[in-house]
Structure formats: structure tokens, C-alpha cells
């Protein structure tokens, strides 16, 4: 009997297993995920195999490699990293296979008749002498045609999977490739394996490059160099860039692909001509962008200008009456800077509120929401992370969601269900921590905002930009195309925090106050060398902070 554990495949040696499929418990036609019961060689009882297959039927013979795991709910399973199914050779397997419903026109009854009439030669007969099917009682010309078409379809699937497996493609990826390209998969992948990185989510340049190598495509082939340019730009995108200067992109690509610079220069010209990448000027320097990112930035700009046009979706608000009302309603006493900001906020269709910590952004947002809510405005609140959404919900007393939840992520496509065709149900959308929103997410969000709705973006422009590509909030502010409220006054309660005070001193170009004070939340730890800084940082995190706050 096999012992089981939950270690990942990468941590242990894969085991091979082969056997006859007795039953298909579950099969997802979209993803290929399957759960099958197998009569395996060397096993007395049926075993459960979990893996991926484009098509799988009872009666087939499967060859797999994977590892035994003990699932908490379903018990002992063999999780197959690789799964290959072949047509059965025994009479029992052939009958089970034909009767499984995988071929239209054949059920258990006709499967038994076909095996009884032609035995083990039934598969060859369907393929080479299909007219003989009519010798079986009950099978006429129409049913025979249906059986022939079904068999041909299954044969195509097997040929595609065999081709992909032979070129080093794992089963789950092979299923995705088949689902994307269908019966043309072999031809399309053979012509341009690098299209896999463009067309299929989860397959990158490295995987496509390995397949290309197995297909005999040379390392200096034009098709590889052109794909490598997009790969280099994608690498830069992972570091937050939307594009690269041309004089940086060429040597970067040449280094990644290990090819001469002149090949990359030629490939770049071809990619620009084909429209796969686009060129533009940034501060007078020629830069190259992935076409999708370039257009995303353009779309953000166009969408913001569209939203800015027109009037807010609420009646004109008299700020002279609204401000005293909201102060009395909330018990807040707004500073002059906040009153000025509030007056602009209730009159703008699109607005950015920015400022460092402790300047009253939350107070201002709450005042805006209280006023417009009195006008029966439908409000939606969102933030880029779960923690930020929770803080926004706590500070406003209203439901706030992550941007992905608000837009309703579609796991099948990787996109969102909410878009220009199915916009959000709101009159005012508030986006908190906007500095963390990247270009692609902002485009998706703006697509889903109704033309009539107002948009309020809140964030600290001096915070680090998003992990993803772009610095959306900073670019929106610097464009001078959208009204911006800058809060700079640090309020008394926030000023008690030396972290807040020093953050604002740094933003003003001043040195922070480094002197250690009792009951302060700011400490300066001197570390003249990077290595010493690492040691001291670890000591602070693992020893001093737990000791001070009783976290031990």
C-alpha cells in the first residue's frame, strides 16, 4: 500500500501508474479537469486518479505520472501531472469505451452489438470500412454517419494531444491549447509556437520557447527574436514599466535571447510594422510599448475626459448650507482647507483627493458621502486590496469591496463581467488607495463606470506606485486634466505621530527628526553598512517589536 502526503510535485519523485478506466466520476470539458476510477496494474482495488484530459472515457487505457496524496475530504488519490489515454485493446475495454457515450450514435446496447459482430477489429472497421457498420441490426445510414463523425472527432483530439505531449507540453496545458485552437491546434502551434504566449493565459515565453526548440526552430530565427521583444517588455511590465526606451530594450532583449543586437533591431522594425508593439516619445526619448498597454493608457485618458464632461448626477448643492449641515450631522468641525475641498468635491463629476497621512482625507470623503447620500445617490466604494477595502468600510460605515469583487471577476476568461456593456449600478464611485491601482485594472474599472456617474479617486500620490505597470494616480494628477484637491494641513491628532510628522518633513525636502523620544512611534536605527542594516532590521522585527507589544 502507498503512503501519502501533501508535498508538492516539485518536492518529490514522480511515480508512474497505468490501468483501465472503469468509471469517469467527473470531467470538466472547459478545463479538462477529471476524476477517474482506474483498475491499475499492481493494485487490488480501484484507485482514484485526479488529473487533466481533453477527453476521457470508461474503457480507455491510461498512462500517468504523478504522486499519491491524502486528500482531507476524498482520501487517498493519485494526482497525475501527466495523463495519456489510449484506445482499449481488450473486448471488455472496447465495449465499455464504445458504450460510454463518447461517440454519438453508440450507447451500451449498440456497443455490445458492435463488439459481438466485429470483435477487436471494430476500431479498424469504423475507420477503414465504415459502410460495414450497417451490417449490425438497427444501424442504418444516418446512425452510421453519426458514428463515423464522432470517431473522427475523437481521433483528432488524440492526435493533437499526442503531438503536444511529444513536444514536452504537460497535460493541463495541452488541454488549454486544444480548447483554444480546436482541430487546427497542431498546424497553428507548428507554424508559430510563440503564439501560445500571446493567446493562452498561463503559458509564457519560456514554455513557448521550449516547444519551439523541440520543433527545431533556431535560436536566431526571426520568429523567436520578434517574440522575445514582447517577452522583454513583459519582463519590464512586471517591474512596473509600461514601456522601455529603445536603447534599453534592444540590449535587454539581446541578452535575454542570447542573440546579436542587429537581429533585435531588425525584429523590432518588423514588430512595429505589424503593430504588436508601438513607439512613442517620452520626454523626447523614443520608447517602445506593448500595444495592449499603450492602448490601455490611451483608453484611461479618453474615458476620464468623457466622464469629466457634463454635470454630477445630483442636483446643484449649496455648499454654504451643506457644510454647516454636515458638520452638525456628523459632529465634525471641518478646517478651512477641508471646507474648500468639500465645496469643490460636491460640484465635480470627477475629482482626485490626495495628500499624505493625517491630512483629513477620510474626514473629507465621509463628509462628501453624507451630503450626496442625502440626495438619494447610489454609492459604490472600492479599493485595490482586501485590507484597504476593509479600512474604507470601517471608516465610512458603508459596504466597500475590492475592485476585483466589484467588477465581478470571471475565472473562465480572466476578465470581468462588469464592463461598458454591463456597467456598475451606481451614481458615485469612490476609489480609495488609488496609488496602488495599475494601468490594466484602472482601464477595466473605468470601462464599468456609467457615463452619467461621478468618480472620486482618493490616494497619497507620494506613496510607492502600483506593483503592476504604470503610476496611474500620479499621471492623472500631473495631466492637469482632472480637478485635484491637495490636502496638506496635518491635524492635531495626527501630528502626535512622529511618523506622520517626519513623512511630511521628507516630502517638503527636510530631514526627519531623528531624536528618540519617550512614547514615540518613530525610531531611527543607524546602520552604516547594508549588511548591518539587514541584521538590525531582522532584530527589530523578530525581537524588539514582539517584546514591546507583547507578541511573544
Cβ partners under 8 Å of residue 336, min gap 6: none
Sheet holding 277-282, edge to edge: 243-245, 285-290, 277-282
Query: Residue with C-alpha cell 473605468?
Result: 446
The pTM assigned to this predicted structure is: 0.71
- Distances from the Cα of 430 to the Cα of 240, 314, 393, 426, 442, angstroms: 24, 15, 11, 10, 13
Q: Which helix (DSSP H) or strand (DSSP E) does residue 379 occupy?
A: strand 379-383
Asked if 480 and 304 count as a contact pair (C-beta separation under 8 A), the reply is: no
Alpha helices in 215-318, H assignment, sequence order: 222-238, 246-257, 261-274, 291-308
Distances (CA, A) of 24 to 49, 58, 178: 10, 6, 20
What is the pLDDT tens value at each position of the chain, 552 positions in all?
343 444 444 445 688 888 888 889 998 877 788 999 998 877 778 999 999 888 888 888 888 889 999 888 888 899 998 888 877 777 877 887 777 776 777 888 888 888 888 888 888 888 788 888 888 888 888 888 888 888 787 778 777 877 887 777 777 788 788 888 888 888 888 889 999 888 887 788 988 898 898 888 999 999 999 999 999 998 888 888 989 999 999 999 999 999 999 999 999 999 999 999 999 988 889 999 999 999 999 999 999 999 998 899 999 999 889 999 998 988 878 888 888 889 998 999 999 999 887 777 888 899 999 999 999 999 999 999 999 999 999 989 999 999 999 999 987 777 899 999 999 999 999 999 999 999 999 999 999 999 999 999 999 877 777 788 989 999 999 999 999 998 877 754 544 666 667 676 777 777 777 776 666 777 788 888 888 888 888 988 888 888 877 776
CATH numbers and ranges of domains, the chain: 1-86 (2.40.50.140), 310-489 (3.40.50.300), 522-552 (no CATH)
Whole-angstrom distance, CA of residue 357 vs CA of residue 364: 13
Amino acid at each position: 500500500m502507498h503512503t501519502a502526503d501533501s508535498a508538492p510535485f516539485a518536492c518529490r519523485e514522480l511515480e508512474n501508474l497505468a490501468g483501465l478506466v472503469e468509471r469517469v466520476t467527473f470531467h470538466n470539458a472547459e478545463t479538462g479537469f477529471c476524476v477517474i476510477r482506474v483498475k491499475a496494474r499492481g493494485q487490488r482495488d480501484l484507485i482514484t486518479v485526479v488529473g487533466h484530459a481533453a477527453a476521457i472515457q470508461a474503457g480507455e487505457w491510461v498512462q500517468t505520472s504523478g504522486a499519491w496524496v491524502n486528500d482531507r475530504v476524498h482520501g487517498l488519490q493519485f494526482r497525475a501531472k501527466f495523463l495519456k489515454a489510449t484506445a482499449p485493446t481488450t473486448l471488455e475495454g472496447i465495449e465499455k469505451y464504445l458504450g460510454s457515450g463518447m461517440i454519438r450514435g453508440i450507447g451500451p446496447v449498440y456497443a455490445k452489438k458492435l463488439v459481438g459482430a466485429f470483435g477487436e477489429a471494430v476500431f479498424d472497421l469504423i475507420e477503414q470500412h465504415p459502410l460495414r457498420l450497417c451490417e449490425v441490426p438497427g444501424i442504418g445510414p444516418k446512425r452510421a454517419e453519426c458514428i463515423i463523425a464522432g470517431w473522427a472527432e475523437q481521433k483528432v483530439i488524440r492526435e493533437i494531444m499526442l503531438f503536444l505531449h511529444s513536444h514536452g507540453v504537460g497535460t493541463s496545458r495541452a488541454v488549454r491549447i486544444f480548447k483554444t485552437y480546436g482541430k487546427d491546434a497542431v498546424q497553428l502551434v507548428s507554424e508559430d509556437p510563440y503564439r501560445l504566449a500571446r493567446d493562452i493565459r498561463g503559458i509564457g515565453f519560456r514554455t513557448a520557447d521550449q516547444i519551439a526548440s523541440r520543433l527545431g526552430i533556431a535560436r536566431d530565427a526571426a520568429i523567436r527574436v520578434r517574440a522575445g521583444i514582447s517577452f522583454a517588455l513583459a519582463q519590464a511590465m512586471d517591474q512596473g514599466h509600461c514601456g522601455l526606451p529603445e536603447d534599453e530594450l534592444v540590449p535587454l532583449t539581446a541578452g535575454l535571447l542570447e542573440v546579436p543586437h542587429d537581429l533585435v533591431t531588425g525584429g523590432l522594425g518588423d514588430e512595429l510594422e505589424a503593430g504588436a508593439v508601438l513607439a512613442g516619445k517620452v520626454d523626447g526619448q523614443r520608447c517602445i510599448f506593448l500595444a495592449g498597454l499603450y492602448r490601455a493608457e490611451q483608453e484611461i485618458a479618453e474615458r476620464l475626459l468623457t466622464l469629466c464632461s457634463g454635470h454630477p448626477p445630483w442636483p446643484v448643492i449649496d455648499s454654504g448650507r451643506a457644510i454647516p449641515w454636515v458638520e452638525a450631522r456628523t459632529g465634525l468641525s471641518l478646517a478651512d482647507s477641508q471646507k474648500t475641498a468639500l465645496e469643490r468635491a460636491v460640484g465635480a463629476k470627477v475629482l482626485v483627493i490626495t495628500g499624505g497621512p493625517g491630512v483629513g482625507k477620510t474626514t473629507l470623503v465621509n463628509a462628501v458621502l453624507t451630503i450626496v447620500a442625502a440626495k438619494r445617490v447610489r454609492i459604490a466604494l472600492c479599493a485595490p486590496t482586501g485590507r484597504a477595502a476593509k479600512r474604507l468600510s470601517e471608516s465610512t460605515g458603508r459596504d466597500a469591496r475590492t475592485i476585483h469583487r466589484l467588477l465581478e471577476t470571471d475565472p473562465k476568461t480572466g476578465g470581468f463581467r462588469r464592463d461598458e456593456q454591463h456597467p456598475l449600478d451606481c451614481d458615485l464611485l469612490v476609489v480609495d488607495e488609488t496609488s496602488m491601482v495599475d494601468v490594466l485594472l484602472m482601464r477595466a474599472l473605468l470601462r464599468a463606470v456609467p457615463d452619467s456617474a461621478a468618480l472620486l479617486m482618493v490616494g497619497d500620490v507620494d506613496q510607492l506606485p502600483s506593483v503592476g505597470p504604470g503610476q496611474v494616480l500620479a499621471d492623472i494628477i500631473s495631466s492637469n486634466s482632472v480637478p485635484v484637491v491637495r490636502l496638506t494641513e496635518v491635524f492635531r491628532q495626527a501630528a502626535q505621530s512622529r511618523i506622520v510628522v517626519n513623512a511630511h518633513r521628507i516630502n517638503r525636502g527636510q530631514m526627519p527628526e531623528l531624536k528618540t523620544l519617550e512614547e514615540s512611534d518613530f525610531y531611527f536605527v543607524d546602520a552604516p553598512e547594508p549588511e548591518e542594516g539587514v541584521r538590525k532590521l531582522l532584530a527589530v522585527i523578530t525581537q524588539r517589536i514582539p517584546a514591546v507589544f507583547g507578541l511573544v
